[in-house]
Structure 1
C-alpha cells in the first residue's frame, strides 16, 4: 500500500509550478522592497526540516549576494529575553505550520522593533505569518505525513526564487520557472542501493558540501524519523576534522556529490573511504565508477539539491517498508512540534 510520504513526495513537481506562478507579483514586490532596504545581512530562524531549508537559503545568499547570514537561535528571545538588534537585517522565518512558540515569539519581538521580516510558510494564516511584514506562501497544500517532504523541497524552491530575483540571476530565474519538468524519478533502479546499504544498520553518516549540505542534514533527519537509524550529517570538510575516526570497515556512508565546485572533493572522499572498506553509496548526476545512485539533474546546478532529495525521499520510503516501519507515523513524533 502506498504511503502518504510517497504520495506527497510525488506531488512536489506540481507544488513548485503552482508556487512559482502564484507568487509572481509577491516575489517582485518583496525583492524590490529589499533592494531599497539594502540589508547588511540576513537571518534565518527555523527548526527541524525547515532549518535545513534555511541552511540552503543562507548558502545561496552568500553565493549570489555576497552578504553575511546567521542561523538564529530562537531561545535567545523565547527563553533568555535577549535584546537582539536586527535593524540592518532581513529576518526569514521558515516553517510548515508557522505555529511553534519559539519562532512566533521571536517574530513578535521583531515586529515590535519594526525589523524587516518575512515568513516562508505553508499555512498563510499561521501565527508566524501574522507577525511578519511579508509572507511568501509555499503553496504545498496540506501535508499529512509527519515526515515533511514536499514542504521541505518547496522551502528550498522558495529560497532560490527569492534570491534569484533579488540578484537578477536570469539563468536561475528561467531554470526555476521550468524546474518542475526536471522533477522526475529514476527509472534505472539504482536507488535500491540505499535500501541495501541501510536495511540492516542502526547507524550511518550522510555527507554533503555547499548547497548539498542542507539535504545531507535533511536526509539524516529522515533516516532517524522514518527508519530509526542514528544518522549524522557532516560537510565533507568537517569529516576530516574528527568524525572520520568512527568510519571503519562496512560503515555506511551516503555521499551527495552534487554538481558544482565541490563535486570533485566529494568523489575524492568517496574513493578514500572505499579504500578504507566503508560501505559507500555515492549519489550523483552522472554515471561514474564511483557513482551508485543517479538523480535527474536540474536546469541549473544550484537546484540539483531539490532533485536529489526528492529521489532520496522515495528511497527512504522504500527502506522504511523493508524494515517493517510506517513512514507516515514515526515513533514518538507528531506533525506539528511546539517548542519554546
Structure 2
C-alpha cells in the first residue's frame, strides 16, 4: 500500500500524457448531447462517481443520478434510457452487477462508457466508449492509486466534454509529489493522535464530499475503525447530536466554495467538543485542533490531492492498530456483487 501511494505522481503524469485518447471519447459524448447522466459504481468507485456527479452538474450543468444496480439485477427493471449517458466505473471491470447495468443500459438506448483500470475487461467490452485510468496493477486490497487515477480520468473526460484543455490538472503530478513529501510529519502526528480513537466521523462539502466518503471507507477496511461519512450539510440535519468530546472528526477542507461552506459545520462540531483534523488546501483557515495542509489547486481537482494524506493516515493507523493494510480480513481485491 505504501509503494502504491508513492506511485501516484508518476501515474498522474502518464494519464495526463494520454489526454488526447480521453478527449476522443469526450467528443463522442459532446456530439451525443445527453439529456441526463447516470453513473454506476460500487465501493471506492462509487465515491469517484460522487465526484463525477459534482463535476457534471457544475461544469456541464446536466442532471445526474447514481444508479442502483439491484434495480436491474434483483428486480429485473429495464428503464428507458434514450438520450442518457451511462458511465460505469470499476477498477477491475469485472463486477457482474455493473456489467448487467451497462448491457441493459445499452439495450435501452443509452450511450455507454466505461472507466476502468483493466482494458479488455468484460465491462470495457460491453461499453461503447472506454476510458482507461492507466494505474497499473494494484496489489494492495485497499484502492489508492486506482482511486485517484479514476478521479483524474473522470475530470479529464468531463472537462473535455465542455471543451476544456485539462489546464487545471496540468500541475497535479508536481502538486501530488509535494503533498506526499510535505505532509508526512503532519500525517504521522495525526496517526499518534487518533491511534486509539473508537469514534470517528468524516465530513466535507461539495467536491470534497467524495473524499470524506472515501476516507471513511479506507479507515474501515484497513484499520477496522467504523468511521461514518457525512456531507457537512447532512451532518447538521441530525448526526451532529451524536458528536462529543470522544469523537474525532476528519474535515476535508478545500480553499474553494465547498471549504467555505464547511466552516459553519466546523463551528457546530467545535461547540460539541470534538477533536477536528482539517485536511486540504483550506485547512489553515479551518477551526481545528490539527491540520494537514495540501497544496492549493482549482477546487474541481482538489479531491485528487486531498485524498493523498488520507491514504497515508489509513496506512499508519492500520499498522499502529495491528492490521495488515495490504490484506484486510474478509476482503478480496475484486468483489463480485449482483
**Could you say whether these structures have the same fold, taking a TM-score greater than 0.5 normalized by the shorter chain as the test?**
yes
How many aligned residue pairs are there? 333
Distance 1:66 1:23 in 2: 22
1:300 aligns with 2:298: yes
Distance 2:41 2:69 in 1: 8
* Range with bigger deviation, 259-268 or 57-66: 259-268
Offset at 1:192?
A: 2.8
Which runs of structure 2 are paired with 1:175-194 in the superposition (5 Å)? Answer: 175-184=168-177, 185-187=180-182, 189-194=185-190
Distance 1:115 1:265 in 2: 35
Give a deviation string over 1:190-220, Cα, whole Å, max 9, x none: 2234313421122211001100000100000
Which runs of structure 2 are paired with 1:14-33 in the superposition (5 Å)? Answer: 14-24=10-20, 26-33=21-28
> For the Cα contact (< 8 Å) 2:263–2:286, is it kept in 1?
no
> What SS does structure 2 have at the residue aligned with 1:90?
strand
User: Hey, what does 2:328 align to over in structure 1?
Assistant: 330
Offset at 1:103?
A: 0.6
Offset at 1:112?
A: 2.8
User: Against the structure 1 CA distance between its residues 251 and 27, is the aligned structure 2 distance closer, same or farther, given a 3 Å change threshold?
Assistant: same
Distance 1:84 1:114 in 2: 10
Give a deviation string over 1:254-275, Cα, whole Å, max 9, x none: 1111121132232332233223
> For the Cα contact (< 8 Å) 1:193–1:281, is it kept in 2?
no
1:90 aligns with 2:85: yes
Distance 2:263 2:189 in 1: 17
> What SS does structure 1 have at the residue aligned with 2:227?
strand
Offset at 1:317?
A: 0.7
Offset at 1:288?
A: 4.1
Distance 1:272 1:238 in 2: 13
1:112 aligns with 2:107: yes
Which runs of structure 2 are paired with 1:137-286 in the superposition (5 Å)? Answer: 137-170=132-165, 173-184=166-177, 185-187=180-182, 189-285=185-281
> For the Cα contact (< 8 Å) 2:27–2:160, is it kept in 1?
no
Q: Give ranges in structure 2 of 5+ residues lacking alignment.
A: none
Distance 2:210 2:286 in 1: 25
Distance 2:296 2:274 in 1: 30
Distance 1:36 1:203 in 2: 48
Q: Give ranges in structure 1 of 5+ residues lacking alignment.
A: none
> What SS does structure 2 have at the residue aligned with 1:183?
helix
Tell me how large the CA RMSD over aligned residues is.
1.6
Provide TM-score, normalisation by structure 2: 0.94
Provide TM-score, normalisation by structure 1: 0.94
